[in-house]
Amino acid sequence: DLTTAKGKSLAVDKLLPIIAEIKDQIRQAHYLQKLAQLLKVSEHSLEAALARIRPRQVRGRAEEPKPEATTYLHPLLSSPLEEYCLVLLLQHPELKYRDEGLLPEYFENSENREIFIAWQQSDKIELVKEKLEPAIHEHLDSLITKNLLSNNLEQKYAECALRLREKFLRSLATKIEAVLALEAQSGDKAADLAKLKEQGVEVNIQLGEVFAQKSRRRFEQRGRGNEPRKQ
């Protein structure tokens, strides 16, 4: 209910982080204005809230966090699934030549994403660190030295990549739905709404493909489990 203070607060909590992720400043300002009109609040108040979400900019660069903040925030930003996938790739170079369709944008954590990009661009694992900022070296070292069972590596990597893709698509679908709701309630052009709906349909189709792949793999695994053991 956008007529109540609680409803407006919930809308801001849900939509403002999505607007903060828009890198194009013109588009970001466009959606910020729409949200202000929809909620009947001042743009200035939303801009102040937005500034608390995104990193403050200092001469065009993000302000370095204080050491205390880094220690506190790192566990909150960690992703076990992303890190597990990186451990597989970093510790087993042979997986580099398996095409599982893994993309940088599937890594929500910025450190993990930078490590994956460096891994993609490096022929040898020793060169990965050279492509990274020193602040990420400790995280890279922790991934390289983690203990991991080395059985069924290809299967583990394929499943991990598929789960990351599903996670990314689910998040993207949620964002499209939120922006679509904002566009609809602000009375935007039908063409814009149609384009957003088309994007949402495409994401749902891709999610359907992911679910089909997961179903096939479960069926194959059950089939292998029922095979008679060789004497």
Residues 102 and 138 in one domain: yes
**148 contacts 199 by C-beta, under 8 angstroms:** no
Does any domain span residue 26?
Answer: yes
The domain total for the chain is 3
Q: At a CB cut-off of 8 Å and minimum separation 6, what does 143 contact? A: 83, 86, 87, 90, 115
Does any domain span residue 229?
Answer: no
Q: Tell me what pLDDT residue 231 has.
A: 46
Amino acid at 27: R
Q: Tell me what pLDDT residue 173 has.
A: 85
Q: Which two tokens stand for residue 2?
A: 């956008």
Q: Tell me what pLDDT residue 129 has.
A: 93
Q: Residue 29 is part of which domain span?
A: 5-62
Q: Which two tokens stand for residue 137?
A: 């070296």
Q: Tell me what pLDDT residue 56 has.
A: 41
- The pLDDT tens digits along the chain (231 residues) read 566 777 777 777 777 777 777 777 777 787 788 778 777 888 888 888 878 765 543 333 344 444 333 333 343 446 899 999 999 999 998 998 888 889 999 998 889 999 999 999 998 888 999 999 999 999 999 999 998 887 889 999 999 999 999 999 988 888 777 777 776 666 655 656 676 677 777 888 888 888 888 888 777 777 666 555 544
**Dihedral in degrees, nearest 10, Cα atoms 221, 227, 230, 231:** 130
Residues 158 and 212 in one domain: yes
Does any domain span residue 149?
Answer: no
Q: At a CB cut-off of 8 Å and minimum separation 6, what does 79 contact? A: 107, 108, 109, 112
Whether the pTM exceeds 0.75: the reply is no
Q: What is the secondary structure of 190-214 as a DSSP string?
A: HHHHHHHHHHHHHHHHHHHHHHHHH
Q: Tell me what pLDDT residue 106 has.
A: 93
**164 contacts 102 by C-beta, under 8 angstroms:** yes
Q: At a CB cut-off of 8 Å and minimum separation 6, what does 152 contact? A: none
> Terminal CA-to-CA distance of the chain, rounded, Å?
67
Residues 159 and 217 in one domain: yes
Token look-up 């909590």 returns 13
The interaxial angle of helices 134-144 and 110-120, nearest 10 deg, is: 80
